[in-house]
């Protein structure tokens, strides 16, 4: 029989495990089979985008992120916001201080993140809006009354990471260039659309997929 010290340690262990289970991140997902996503990486047709989101609105749920990351039967919805100011596009270069080593040195043309239960709303549209606002606030010192505008969907099933995520691509035009909050983890720079192509080799996959959209001057 364990003595008092052992019982205390065992109780403390189970409490900690219970806290870990309670704190496990929950993310918003939709069953992949319901979405009927096209093979093209960027879906910009407004009617098709609305159709996909209508399905999402009626079929979303939350599940543990650890399970979602390994299960391509579900797509995690990720708002991905491109910031534009005075014709320039915000680029974010991830430094070695980031936990995800495969992203070190990579350039992103969007600010994004998972949707969690804390992003409560009466509709999926409201939930997404709250998630975007939270992510933008966490990443940037941003002041604007403008709202992000949905432009398309990013779907990349060519790799294990892309196969479990669906990007909701938004464009946000601002009057003043925002600054990065965690400058040790990300470096910000601004580029005109015509100069973005030269940076393609250094970009993460989703940003490469966005290039044809962002370099189309009629789109920005």
Domain range annotation of the chain: 25-214
For 42, other C-beta atoms within 10 Å of its C-beta total: 19
Domain 25-214: which CATH number of 3.40.50.880, 3.40.640.10, 3.40.50.720, 3.90.79.10: 3.90.79.10
Token duo for residue 64: 């543990």
* Full pLDDT tens readout for the chain, 220 residues: 444 444 444 444 445 554 444 579 999 999 999 999 987 899 999 999 999 999 999 999 999 999 999 999 999 999 999 999 999 999 999 875 555 555 567 899 999 999 999 999 999 999 999 999 999 999 999 999 999 999 999 999 988 888 999 999 999 999 999 999 988 889 999 999 889 999 999 999 999 999 999 987 555 5
Q: Give the 3-state secondary structure of residue 96.
A: coil
Q: How far apart are CA 73 and CA 67, in angstroms?
A: 11
Please, what sign has the CA dihedral across residues 182, 185, 189, 194? Answer: negative
Q: How far apart are CA 129 and CA 22, in angstroms?
A: 25
Burial of 171 (0-12, 13-18, 19+ CB in 10 A): buried
Please, what sign has the CA dihedral across residues 147, 149, 194, 216? Answer: negative
Q: Please report the pLDDT score of residue 118 as a whole number.
A: 97
pTM score, whole prediction = 0.85
Q: How far apart are CA 217 and CA 219, in angstroms?
A: 5
C-alpha radius of gyration, the chain, whole number: 20
Q: Please report the pLDDT score of residue 39 as a whole number.
A: 79
């Amino acid at each position: 029989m364990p003595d008092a010290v052992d019982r205390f340690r065992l109780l403390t262990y189970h409490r900690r495990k219970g806290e870990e289970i309670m704190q496990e991140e929950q993310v918003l997902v939709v069953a992949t089979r319901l979405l009927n996503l096209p093979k093209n990486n960027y879906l910009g047709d407004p009617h098709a985008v609305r159709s996909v989101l209508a399905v999402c609105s009626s079929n979303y749920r939350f599940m543990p992120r650890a399970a979602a990351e390994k299960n391509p039967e579900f797509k995690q919805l990720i708002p991905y916001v491109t910031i534009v100011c005075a014709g320039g596009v915000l680029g974010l270069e991830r430094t070695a201080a980031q936990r995800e080593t495969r992203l070190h040195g990579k350039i992103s043309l969007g600010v994004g993140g998972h949707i969690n239960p804390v992003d409560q709303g009466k509709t999926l549209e409201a939930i997404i809006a709250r998630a975007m606002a939270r992510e933008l606030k966490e990443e940037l010192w941003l002041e604007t009354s403008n709202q992000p505008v949905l432009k398309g969907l990013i779907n990349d099933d060519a790799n294990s990471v892309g196969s479990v995520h669906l990007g909701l691509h938004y464009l946000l035009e601002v009057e003043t260039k925002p600054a990065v909050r965690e400058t040790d983890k990300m470096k910000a720079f601004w580029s005109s659309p015509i100069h973005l192509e030269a940076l393609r080799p250094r970009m993460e996959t989703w940003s490469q997929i966005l290039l044809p959209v962002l370099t189309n001057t009629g789109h920005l």
